[in-house]
């Protein structure tokens, strides 16, 4: 039986009620095309697209959008060679790109979250799994030691730390992606009695300044910001594993990226 792109998308969405105005679209791509191979990745960068093509797949499942915007509200900048080059490479190659974002985060538990926890070897430490956060209890460890542990487990070159690096941490909240903002992270510290939040990304003068104020007022806390891609790649790696199990015999790959920033 032929496996089509539509079959794969329907399977990815099968256990989640329909989401209105979802950003999860197939673009470009023909839903009736036969799938000859799949690659998963955090973001369909130009280099990831070339790697997918070199691997011979014709469906790339990307967590984030190819064109640098969560929701494209404007046409591409007129004649911009970066957009145009990427669009032409996709068109000439026939690679289909499907965004697996909303239907992924809406699963319970969110596989992007469980992917990060697996990579951190913290699955057994979860006390509570909330829709947008995990609450963990680990053996007491200083925030700076947790930072070193996270760097080693995720093979990332640096993390950013706010608050008290010497804070002895046992209650930890984990938030993937762009959930490090104050609306998500600040209430968790108090409601869940957290010593430390580990987040992908968030505005700089929200949670970090809350944590700094908290430490200054005598309630020492800490925050690790590990990077948006760094927090979500493990979940996309896991997706490749699940797709391999679902479609035996079909080539399925995970394509990692180098960190987008270097610190100088």
Q: Binding site: residue ranges?
A: 63, 110, 228, 232
Kindly state whether residue 144 participates in binding its own copies, applying the rule CB under 8 A.
yes
Closest CA to 127 of 170, 181, 169: 170
Kindly state whether residue 47 participates in binding its own copies, applying the rule CB under 8 A.
yes
Kindly state whether residue 46 participates in binding its own copies, applying the rule CB under 8 A.
yes
Kindly state whether residue 217 participates in binding its own copies, applying the rule CB under 8 A.
yes
Tell me which stretch binds its own copies (CB under 8 A): 24-32, 120-128, 177-185, 246-254.
Answer: 177-185
Kindly state whether residue 80 participates in binding its own copies, applying the rule CB under 8 A.
yes
Alpha carbon distance 223, 221 (integer Å): 7
Kindly state whether residue 207 participates in binding its own copies, applying the rule CB under 8 A.
yes
Q: Which residue, 149 or 247, has its beta carbon nearer to its own copies?
A: 149
Interface mask toward its own copies for 100-139; x: CB under 8 A:
----------------------------------------
Kindly state whether residue 212 participates in binding its own copies, applying the rule CB under 8 A.
yes
> What is the phi-psi region of residue 165: left when phi exceeds 0, alpha when psi lies from -120 to 50, beta otherwise?
alpha
Phi, psi of 163 (to 5 degrees): 85, -145
Kindly state whether residue 28 participates in binding its own copies, applying the rule CB under 8 A.
no
> What is the phi-psi region of residue 97: left when phi exceeds 0, alpha when psi lies from -120 to 50, beta otherwise?
beta
Kindly state whether residue 222 participates in binding its own copies, applying the rule CB under 8 A.
no
Burial per residue of 159-171, b for 16 or more beta-carbon CB atoms within 10 angstroms, e otherwise: bebbbbbebebeb
Alpha carbon distance 102, 184 (integer Å): 17
Alpha carbon distance 81, 60 (integer Å): 22
Kindly state whether residue 182 participates in binding its own copies, applying the rule CB under 8 A.
yes
User: Which residues have C-beta within 8 Å of that of residue 230, sequence separation ≥ 6?
Assistant: 154, 156, 200, 259
Kindly state whether residue 193 participates in binding its own copies, applying the rule CB under 8 A.
no
User: Which residues have C-beta within 8 Å of that of residue 145, sequence separation ≥ 6?
Assistant: none
CB of 94: closest distance to its own copies in angstroms?
19
Residues forming contacts to its own copies in the complex (CB under 8 A) are 43, 45-47, 64, 68-69, 74, 77, 79-82, 85-86, 144, 147-148, 151, 158-162, 165, 178, 182-183, 186-187, 190-191, 201, 203-210, 212-214, 216-217, 219, 225, 227-229, 260-264
């Amino acid at each position: 039986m032929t496996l089509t792109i539509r079959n794969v998308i329907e399977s990815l969405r099968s256990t989640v009620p329909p989401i209105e105005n979802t950003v999860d679209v197939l673009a470009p791509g023909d839903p009736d095309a036969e799938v000859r191979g799949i690659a998963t990745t955090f973001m369909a960068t130009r280099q990831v697209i070339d790697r997918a093509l070199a691997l011979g797949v014709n469906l790339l499942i990307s967590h984030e959008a190819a064109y640098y915007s969560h929701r494209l509200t404007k046409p591409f900048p007129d004649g911009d060679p970066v957009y145009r080059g990427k669009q032409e490479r996709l068109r000439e190659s026939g690679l289909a790109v499907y965004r697996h974002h909303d239907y992924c985060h809406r699963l319970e538990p969110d596989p992007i979250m469980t992917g990060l926890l697996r990579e951190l070897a913290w699955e057994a430490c979860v006390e509570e799994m909330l829709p947008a956060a995990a609450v963990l209890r680990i053996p007491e460890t200083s925030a700076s030691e947790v930072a070193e542990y996270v760097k080693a487990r995720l093979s990332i070159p640096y993390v950013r730390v706010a608050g008290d690096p010497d804070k002895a941490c046992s209650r930890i909240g984990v938030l993937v992606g762009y959930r490090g903002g104050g609306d998500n992270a600040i209430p968790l510290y108090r409601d869940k009695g957290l010593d430390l939040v580990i987040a992908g990304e968030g505005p700089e003068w929200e949670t970090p300044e809350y944590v700094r104020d908290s430490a200054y007022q005598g309630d020492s806390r800490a925050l690790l910001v590990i990077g948006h891609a760094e927090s979500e790649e493990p979940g996309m790696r896991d997706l490749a594993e699940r797709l391999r199990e679902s479609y035996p015999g079909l080539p399925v790959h995970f394509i990692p990226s180098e960190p987008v920033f270097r610190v100088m």
